[in-house]
Structure 1
């Protein structure tokens, strides 16, 4: 007999899990524990890698991942330096550290490095292919907008696009100090809404996508491409 009191099928048993049904997370790494439970999530991209600390922690958790692309310029952007940006020597050291952290996965061909601007890397990656993309590169409105517009097409339907720091420029300055001013774009224009503004604008343009946010001081945001 059909028991009307039976619990709804749990989110991780659905072939097409819905992001807003994911249990809430207190940290962005906990989100990877969710992906690990979902057979339909196996391929990812991380944009903005630095020393590979997050990438290593992510792959330690997300063991069902079969392909993980790491995108970072690891060198000074021409004519542009994010406040607090490392020198070129530091960037080279960061790349070496990331390579060391990723060694076993790069050797097994699970991890691929793309040392170039995020927008250039996006042009070389297939559309409609990836299950998950995480953005943590530049934090000004224009750069985040550009990265979202470059990487959202890379997702298959039902894929998830996320990123760090779902906050505005003032929030960052209040907590990190003036050295981290995310209100200024590369072209000199000022957009105090920063990351959060770029994400919200894109959600609106896509017809009102809901956002899932981690519950931490520098929250991560996640949106799902409709099935």
Structure 2
């Protein structure tokens, strides 16, 4: 009784200050939020790292923040928007998509206390709109069914999904099947009301559906032990190595030749290939995607959001804006290493050592000083200028922290786009210097040092732009062979 009395008194005082002293109320609210985010957040992370369950579902927003999961999230089953508001307040999610049909269903088909008449559903929808409008573009409301909303998102595109809709076994199982592929490795999937049975609130089969699904996918998960438990899981990493690049339509021919040359010199090559593209900066047509998929089926096309890199537009030459999307490579979580290759390259040798290199970060030194490059090769060094055309990124830099640091780095002139941002970040960190034959500039290819070249880089002028140049001859040989064989 006492706790109820004090809770009611707190609500009354909160309402009084909000109405009569809005400035003071806002200040206290902001201080309280600062305290939660700066003090409670690290405690939440420590519990997570010790494999201890969280104590409140409100802490999931803080966990997302501490894990640097700052992309897109989805809540399925919104009701009046309370939890959407909580997530947007406590996390740094770029966008939270709140999905709910706000529709009255036949009570025989949907047994739940929140299955209310349509008028009440409409009122909840309007209330949710009013509640979330203060978050602006960070909040997007979708009045539709879960299955319809799932079609709007690419696989491995979401940092967070929260399922709190129809609680029947069949519905929860369907939602898990729909939304599990949408969550990227390292992202969080969670849900409310981890219960089974016929209770006054409705027919619940959440526990059975979640247990069965997680066992099927060999996915560990935790449960917040409260009256209405929340379950949550960090999607397991895939491990291994993947190849990644940023690609647009004008460079598809170069990338196809690159893929062909890799397979030619590495007969057992079967690593997954991730191709990043975007709507405006780096568009890639469906026809070209199909062409690449026919050449190499183990490929995934990832449509990335351009917003995070737009802050660098003012300090980067316009022609190099697409190169800024390279920073998104550091958000490919779930692998032991990601090997980035520019699309304007040609493989001329065995890359098995590169594919298995176990270092935090590796790249080839930049510049024309061959002796310096040979002296630095195969060792760790600081304050080294490097070319970002070939990079090996270990899992140490694939947990979100490096990605966040790169996107929030100070705005300084970036004449070489991503390369300047990366070199500033890695300036005082030890990087592993690759042998320069793994990123050999094509303009030096006909000057006596050709036999050990692993990857030829057509930086600057491209073969299709200057087909008569001698250094372009080898590229056209591979292109001809590719067309002949395919």
TM-score range, shorter chain: 0.7 to 0.9
TM-superposed deviation, 1:197: 0.2
**2:70–2:94 CA contact under 8 A, matched in 1:** no
CA distance in 2, matches of 1:52, 1:25: 22
**1:28–1:214 CA contact under 8 A, matched in 2:** yes
C-alpha RMSD over aligned residues: 2.3
CA distance in 1, matches of 2:97, 2:129: 12
**1:29–1:58 CA contact under 8 A, matched in 2:** yes
1:197 to 187, 203, 208: 208
> 1:22/1:112 Cα in 2 relative to 1: closer, same or farther (>3 Å)?
farther
**1:22–1:34 CA contact under 8 A, matched in 2:** no
Aligned to 2:93: 65
| Cα offsets for 1:187-215 (capped at 9, x unmatched) | xxxxxxx10000011011113x1111112
Task: Map 1:39-78; keep pairs closer than 5 Å.
Answer: 39-62=68-91, 64-77=92-105
TM-score by length of 1: 0.77
1:96 is the counterpart of 2:126: yes
1:24 to 47, 53, 57: 53
TM-superposed deviation, 1:21: 4.3
TM-superposed deviation, 1:94: 0.3
CA distance in 2, matches of 1:77, 1:118: 15
Aligned to 2:190: 162
1:111 to 107, 131, 139: 139
TM-superposed deviation, 1:133: 0.4
CA distance in 1, matches of 2:165, 2:210: 14
Aligned to 2:312: none
CA distance in 2, matches of 1:88, 1:21: 46
Aligned to 1:221: 231
TM-superposed deviation, 1:72: 0.3
**2:69–2:93 CA contact under 8 A, matched in 1:** no
**Larger RCO: 1 or 2 (CA < 8 Å, sep 6+):** 1
**2:156–2:183 CA contact under 8 A, matched in 1:** yes
TM-superposed deviation, 1:226: 1.5
**1:41–1:132 CA contact under 8 A, matched in 2:** no
User: Which structure shows the bigger proportion of residues in helix conformation?
Assistant: 2
Structure 1 residue runs of 5 or longer lacking an equivalent are 1-11, 184-193
Q: How many residues align?
A: 192
TM-superposed deviation, 1:113: 1.2
**2:100–2:146 CA contact under 8 A, matched in 1:** yes
**2:172–2:206 CA contact under 8 A, matched in 1:** yes
**1:134–1:163 CA contact under 8 A, matched in 2:** yes
> 1:42/1:22 Cα in 2 relative to 1: closer, same or farther (>3 Å)?
farther
- Partner secondary structure for residue 202 of structure 1: helix
- Partner secondary structure for residue 109 of structure 1: helix
Structure 2 residue runs of 5 or longer lacking an equivalent are 1-41, 238-486
TM-score by length of 2: 0.37
CA distance in 1, matches of 2:49, 2:164: 22
CA distance in 2, matches of 1:164, 1:127: 23
**1:20–1:212 CA contact under 8 A, matched in 2:** no
- Partner secondary structure for residue 97 of structure 2: strand
